[in-house]
Structures are given as C-alpha cells and as structure tokens.
Structure 1
C-alpha cells in the first residue's frame, strides 16, 4: 500500500507506539485520525504532525461506535491501543481483567469487522495489529499474554479470509518499548536485557510492513527467535524462561 493520500485510523494515538505511528504516517503523507481517551495527549500529537484527534474510550459502547464509524471509511486501520497488567492473576480485579481483554482483543476484532466491508468495496485496504512478544507466555502477565496471543491468531485467520480482496493484514510483535505502558500496568520494566527500544523504531517497522504487505514483524527482529523456539519446543522454552526470565 502506498501511504501518501490514504485515510488512516490509529487507536491509542495519544502516546507511545500509537502516537509514534500516527506521526510517521502523517510524515508519509497519509490523512490520519487518532483515537484515545487522553484529550491533551491527542492534541499534542496532532500539533506535531497534523493528525485529527478524536476522544473516545474504546471500552464503552459509545467510544467503540465512534471508532467503528471511522474504521469503516479508513484505508488503513492500526490497532495500537492496549492495556497491560502485571502481577498474580488471583489478585487481578475482575473489572480490570474484562477491560484488558476488551481493549486488547475484542476491540481490534470489532474494528476489523467494521473496516473490511468498506475496504472490499474500494478494492484495497490494510489492517495492522500491535500484538506483543508476550504471546510466548510471560510470567506475571497471564491475561495480557493470552489476549495478545488471541490477537495473533485472529489476524492470521483474517489474512486468509481477505486474501482475495487486496486487503493486507500485519501483526507487529514489539518487545519492551520505552513508553508509559509499564507505569500503567503496575510494574516497572527492570530488566537489563533485552533493552527497551524507542517507539519510533516500532513505527518505522509498521510503516514498512504495511507498504510491503508483511504478515508478521518482530521489533527488534531477533525476538522472532524466541517465538520460533516457543513454537517448536515449548517445554524447552518454558525451562529457559523460568531460568533466565
């Protein structure tokens, strides 16, 4: 997909990966709408690159309806909104679990459902899903890992469904990214390895993947090795993860 002149929708556009993707898209000549709950954050991103800010809480019916209407008209939909939670699953409040699964998995599915008919009519389009390397299963993040793994499976199946419609589907698997995500999930990132990557690095890979219709992209690229080991030898991966974290 050529990005210049395209209409793009980016969820989670007020900060972090979503904001970086939105700024990169406007730099590439796309017309970008950014959605999020933080009005001040959206306005700051809009001032930097010229995106159109729309305040919407995607975990509410009204917010989801607003996002779905925008997705129906978009050539590119980037699902970057996400919610994390770290700690013992038994201590996770039920409403927090429901909100996490809704935002990380159900909302991207609903927006894809809204976007695909219009893309089919227009004869082109692209859907991008920001998943996580946590799909391999990360201790202390059971609900988050499961939601992101579900997103990967959904995107893979959807790619088959739209293969004949000139609609691309990309899933992005970032590792640790230097964003407010870790503050909001309740536990700071305290590992020396792997080091955090800047959100701009993820944004560059997302745009390149959309332009080249890549199915899956890991950031940094070497993280694909962890996913391959987990897929081929899950018991070995589990032992290594338990030893090295």
Structure 2
C-alpha cells in the first residue's frame, strides 16, 4: 500500500540536540514555552531584561540565560550570541502601551515598534540564515487574539502584532523550501502578569472571564503547548499560520 508512513520506532515530539532561544523568558508564556521545549530535549536559552527574575526562572527549569533587551540591536546580538546556533526562535516581546488611539503618544508608538515588531525582525534576521544553511528551523512569534479582533484600548498591540503576523507569513514564503517554518501563536486572555495589570479590578476580571466560551482565562502552559507543537518535527508542514489559543473567544 503506497503513500503511507510508519511511526514504528519513532519517538514523537522530541527536539533532542536542537537549540532554542526564547525571549521574554523569565515569566508567563515565555517561561512556560521554554520549559516545554526543555522537556522535549532542546537546549534552551531564555532572554529578558531583569537579571534576578531571569536567573531564578532559568535555574528552576534548567535553561541557560542572558540579560538582553531585544528592543535594541545590541540586545538582539547579545541574546543570539549567548544561544549559539539557534534552531528554534520564540519571539515573545511586547506589552505595548494601553489607551485609546487618540491618547497614545508618538514615543509610545515608537517604543512599541522597537519592542514588538522590530525585535522579531531583527531576531529572525540574525537566526534564519543559519537555519536555512542547516536545512531546519522554526520561527514562532507570540502575538495576540487582537490581531483579528482589535481591542479598543490596545491600539499599539493591535497594529504591531498584526504586522508581526504578516511579516512572518511573508518570510514563510521565502524560506519554506529550506526546511524553515514561520508561524505565530495568538493567545487569548491568559492568566499572566500583563492580564492582571490590564484587569486589576476583580469584578472586571470576572465579567471578562464570563464572556469567554470556556468561562475562564487560559493558563501560560496551555499557550506553551501550541508553541511546543509548532517547534516540533511533526509540524514541519505547517507554515505561515496563526494558531489561536483563546478558549473559543474568536468563534
């Protein structure tokens, strides 16, 4: 019987020997993604700006760490140098300014552009050539459900995460034949420090959770599972895609 394949003797969802770089890796979704990649056998370097929290988080999961602000070219260079030959890039930088569009300053837009958009472009520029040369690579960016359903008070995130999504879709077209995939994971309302900042009022948070079809906020590890899948060998034929993890919000 032709056209089939066998899984006999194959260990599924392993990344043994692969090197991964996870930015924003000291907490939340980034830390959970790093943990999952380590459990799959990857050698993981996590990058973030705050040394104390980063070191504690990295030590807890067995990752290497580097203090780096990837909103700057120098920070990207430091992160990539510390990670070595990166096979898996998880670009997870953001938290742009909140407010109505009319109230966001040009400085906030500029900072958001550097942190949310250009960080992904620079990280990809620094790592994808090596992936192409080795014939294998994964580029994954953490975006947001607001790419498809904009929030009225997150204009910077709405615009720039949509930019990241379409940048990676375009890059996917260039590198697909070289064994490199480029995808995004778009979390819904997830129980992270950022969510607690935006919805500090418990009653407000409860009302928001009640509107989600799953009737709860997501957990970082639930988003990380999507990242881990996209990083796997088994996801080699998925590229240019946006994977929503939002408890049914976008239905």
TM-score range, shorter chain: 0.7 to 0.9
| Equivalent residues of 1:84, 1:181 under 8 A apart | no
Q: Superposition pairs for residues 219-234 of structure 1, below 5 Å?
A: 219-220=245-246, 222-223=248-249, 225=251
1:206 alignment partner, one of 208, 227, 244:
227
Counterpart residue number, 2:115 = 103
2:108 and 2:99 mapped to 1: Cα distance? Answer: 12
Q: CA deviation at 1:175?
A: 0.4
**Cα 1:76/1:17, change in 2 over 3 Å:** same
- Which 4+ residue blocks in structure 1 deviate beyond 4 angstroms? none
In the alignment, the residues of structure 2 paired with residue 204 and residue 187 of structure 1 have an alpha-carbon distance, to the nearest angstrom, of: 25
1:163 lines up with 2:176 in the alignment: yes
Relative to the length of structure 2, the TM-score reads: 0.82
**Does structure 1 retain, via aligned residues, the 8 Å contact 2:116–2:160?**
yes
User: Equivalent residues in 2 for 1:28-177 (5 A)?
Assistant: 28-70=40-82, 73-136=85-148, 137-177=150-190
How far did 1:91 drift? Answer: 2.4
Deviations 1:158-183 (A, max 9, x none): 11111110011121111011111135
Counterpart position of 2:5: none
SS in 2 for 1:78: strand
> Comparing both structures, which one devotes a greater share of its residues to helix?
1
Whether the 8 Å contact between 1:69 and 1:114 is mirrored in structure 2 is no
Aligned counterpart, 1:216: 242
Q: Deviations over 1:73-115 (max 9, x none)?
A: 2010000122232212232233222111211111101111111
RMSD of the TM alignment (CA)?
2.0
**Which sections of structure 1, spanning at least 5 residues, go unmatched?**
226-245
Structure 2 stretches of 5 or more lacking a match?
1-12
Among residues 7, 21, 24, which one is paired with 2:36 in the alignment? Answer: 24
Q: Deviations over 1:33-77 (max 9, x none)?
A: 000011122112212211011001122332122134357720100
Q: What is the aligned length?
A: 224
Q: Could you tell me how far apart the structure 2 residues matched to 1:115 and 1:9 are?
A: 10
Q: Which moved more, 1:211-220 or 1:199-208?
A: 211-220
Partner secondary structure for residue 69 of structure 1: helix
Could you tell me which residue of structure 1 aligns to residue 4 of structure 2? Answer: none
Aligned-partner Cα distance in 1 for 2:80–2:18? 18
